[in-house]
Every structure is written in structure tokens, then in C-alpha cells.
Amino acid sequence: MSQTITLYVDGACRGNPGLGGWGAYIITETEEHKLCGGEPETTNNRMELTAAIEGIRFCPADASLIMWTDSSYVQKGITEWIHGWKKKNWKDVKNPDLWKELDALCQGRQIEWNWIKGHAGHAGNEMADQLANLGADKTQAQMQTDSKKKSEPDWLLDDPFGLDLTDTDDSAESEIPEDIEEQDEISEVLSADAEETSETNPSVAAHPHIVITPARTDLSGPRQLILDTETTGFYFQDTDRIIEVGAIEMINRKLTGSSIHIYINPEKPVGDSEAIHGITDDFLKDKPKYAEISDVLFDYLKGAEIIAHNATFDMNFLDMEFRRAGLQALSEVCEVTDTLAMAKSKHPGQKNSLDALVRRYEIPQRDRTFHGALLDAEILSDVYLAMTGGQVLLDIDASSSEENNGSGHRRQVEIELPVILPSADELEAHENWVKQYEEKHGEPCFFAK
């Protein structure tokens, strides 16, 4: 059976045209891949197309792909407009080279194209956006390096016999090999994103297998973490262990873009649970043990309200693992909300699994051939918002401008409402009805007392 792969793709451009970058965040059934690149002179549309092309090219030809892009240009172009472009032999079509390449890559593949609102706090889309900007940063660094090489004089041409060399004491910097200087410059750019994340949360760099995405929006209020775990079995008392943790952050009913995702070596075989989550012993063998990541995970989770589906299951395992690592039980430092209990109260006698709630609330479908902690957390965030009154506005720019303009305050509207008086016939009919009510029930109606 071919695997299903989810891709989030995005492009970025600093000036249009200008320096640009593309990013593809690829989630397979067992791992994640992050691709990025860029061009010194390009457009935003070309980078969005390139991200889709490179993402698809990376995936096996027999895989079923679920594509997510915040570009209507790409999504509608490949699913609707391209048929007309082909009929008119690509006449007057912009970026025909990339469209032809994308079209050729899609032939014979099973691809589902989806649009997602950009900069709305969705973890997958935010990661693709970060990768696109990182691709632009790397391209800019390479441009600076190339420019530096061209500007340096060739001493063999200017002074072939070495007669005019400057004093060696004044040229100590020249003893540093050029290639090391270049590597340092590139390393600074590549680590810029990690440094920004570390400033937000100093524990991020504690282990290479811990993926913490920093918040993209500055919101104030109590933290809610929509959380899910995958385990080797159902019984925390019977030596079953956690193998995956995923959580996404929400403040004031808005996703901030911050998330944490960790795969963990359970120090025991996965067993039959592999059929549920698809995570193999071979995949987990090089992952950290719980004790190695417990401090970072505890720091990220503590103090927040944990929202989970069948939260008792997740919290029992987390409490057990943290105690085993010498820390407090998570339930002692977090408030816990169980969406399964909420659903049973709201829909008694009905199926209330996560899949059932997705169908009931018409949440956009995602592939769940295998359960994944971060994917299930994303789905649960949609379900939770739907169960608790619907999702609020996620357009951060619009909401912040409203606050700045003071339009968020309730205004008094002065409207003179017309008064319509009953006619004589209507008054007579009303009196007859009141009398008939009293005769029938033996007492006057409420508004006649």
C-alpha cells in the first residue's frame, strides 16, 4: 500500500521582483522533512510554484500527496486554469516554464490540492513560511560571499613577485583561511532562525530531536495547549511508554503558531501499536529517551491549560513519564480539559471519537490513515473551537488594526424606531382570544393578569 504524505509549501519575496525564497514542509507517516532554497531575482509567484515543484519532486512517485498552499494562484492554477492554458498553447501565460514543469510532475500522481489561509497561525503553513524566508536568507548569504570573492584582488596579477607585500603584523587577519570565513558567514544565517527561537524559549536548542516552533503572533492571555500523544500501548501501569508528543498553542481562541513536537525512544518494542500510529522500532532507535527531553517538554507545558481528547489517557502517561524522570506530575501544574467528556455531555448517546466529531462539525478532512500526535492536535484545535462556540477571527492584521482604531469598543447607535399601533379589528380579536383562553383554562392568561 502506497503511503500518504502531507506537504505545506510557500514562497516569499523581498520586493516583487527581488530576492526570494521557497520552502516545503513534508510530513510522511514516520518523519518530517524541511526543504528550502531561493533565487536572487525572482517573484513571489515563481517562488510559490517552485516550492510546490520541489516538494512534489522530493516525494516518491507512488505516494498519495495532500498539498496545502496559501497561494490561490497555485491551487486554482493547477486545478482549474491550467486546462484553458493548455488549449491556447500557453499563450499570454506568466511563468510558463514553471507551470509546464509542475504539470509534468503531476502526471500519473495522486495529488489533492488544498488552499489554506496564510499567517493565520496554522503550524504547517507557518513552518513553510519560515522555510521560505530561510531560503531567501541562504541565497542572500551566498550572494554576499560571491560578491566578496569577486572584490578581493588577485595578488598574483597585481604583485606576481610578492615585492609589495604589506607588513605581516598588520595583516594578521589574512592568516584566517578564506573558506573558514565564508563558512562562518553562512552558518550565522542558517542559525538565525534557531537563535530567534532560543531567545523565545532558551530550552529549544537542548536537543536536536525537539522541534519547537516559536509563536508568530504576540498575544497576551492564558495559554491553552492542544495536546496529543502516541504510545506503545494502552496501559501506563504495564510498562507502556510514550513515543510521540505533539502540542500547539492557543491564546484567546487564536493559534499563535507555537508548537512542540518530539519523537521518543521508548526503550521497548512498539509492538502491535504500530498498526495505529505507523511508527516503527527502527525509526525510534536513534531518538532521545524521555529523560533526555523531559526538562524541555515540562518547561513548555507547565502552567498551561492542557486540552486533549480522552485527556485521562494522555495525562496518566505524561504524569508517569515525568515522575520517572524525577519531575512533578504534569497534572499538578496544569489545568486539564477533556474534549471527550465535553463531547459526551454535549452529544449523549452518540459517537464522540475525534473522527466522529470531525464529521459532525464538518471540519476540513485530513488524512488519518495513521494517527500522528501533531496532526491530531491540529484537528482537535478545530474541533474544540467548533464545540465551544465556533472559531473566532484569525486575521491577525485585521484584528490588531481594529484594536488600534478603537473600533473594538461597542458604540451607541441612535435610531428612532417606528411605533406601529394595533387597529380596532386587531384589538377586538385580541380581547376575544383572551376571553376564550380564560373560559377554556379557568384562569386568565399570563399577560392578562
Q: Are 13 and 38 in contact (CB under 8 A)?
A: no
**Catalytic, out of 33, 209, 347, 371:** 371
Write out the residue range of the structural domain in which residue 258 sits: 206-394
What are the grid coordinates assigned to 364, written together?
476540513
Model pTM greater than 0.75?
no
Query: Annotated binding site, which residues?
Result: 10, 48, 70, 129, 228, 230, 277, 376
What CATH number does the domain containing 245 carry? 3.30.420.10
Query: Annotated binding site for substrate, which residues?
Result: 228, 230, 277, 376
Among residues 27, 44, 26, 43, the alpha carbon closest in space to that of 35 is found at 26
The domain total for the chain is 3
Is 430 tagged catalytic? no
* Residues contacting residue 38 through CB under 8 Å, at least 6 positions apart: 19, 20, 21, 22, 47, 135, 136, 138, 139, 140
Beta strands in 192-304 (DSSP E): 210-213, 223-231, 242-251, 254-263
Query: Annotated binding site for a divalent metal cation, which residues?
Result: 228, 230, 376
In the block, cell 525564497 appears at: 21
* b/e burial code for range 408-446 (CB count within 10 A of at least 16 → b): eeeeeeeeeeeeeeeeeeeeeeeeeeeeeeeeeeeeeee
pLDDT (0 to 100) of residue 421: 87
Condensed to tens digits (0 to 9), the pLDDT of residues 254-312 reads: 999 999 999 999 999 999 888 888 889 999 999 999 999 999 999 999 999 999 999 99
What are the grid coordinates assigned to 161, written together?
613577485
Asked if residue 56 is part of any domain, the answer here is yes
Same domain, 311 and 432: no
Statement: residue 97 has pLDDT above 90: yes
Q: How many residues does the chain have?
A: 449
Statement: residue 405 has pLDDT above 60: no
Condensed to tens digits (0 to 9), the pLDDT of residues 174-188 reads: 343 444 444 444 344
Same domain, 213 and 352: yes
Same domain, 390 and 427: no
Number of H-type helices and E-type strands within the chain: 17, 11
Task: Kindly give the residue spans of alpha helices, DSSP state H, lying in 107-200.
Answer: 123-151, 155-158, 178-190, 192-200
Given 97, 125, 153, the domain boundary residue is: 125
The DSSP secondary structure of 143-159, one letter per residue, reads: HHHHHHHHHS--HHHH-
Condensed to tens digits (0 to 9), the pLDDT of residues 59-77 reads: 999 999 999 999 989 999 9
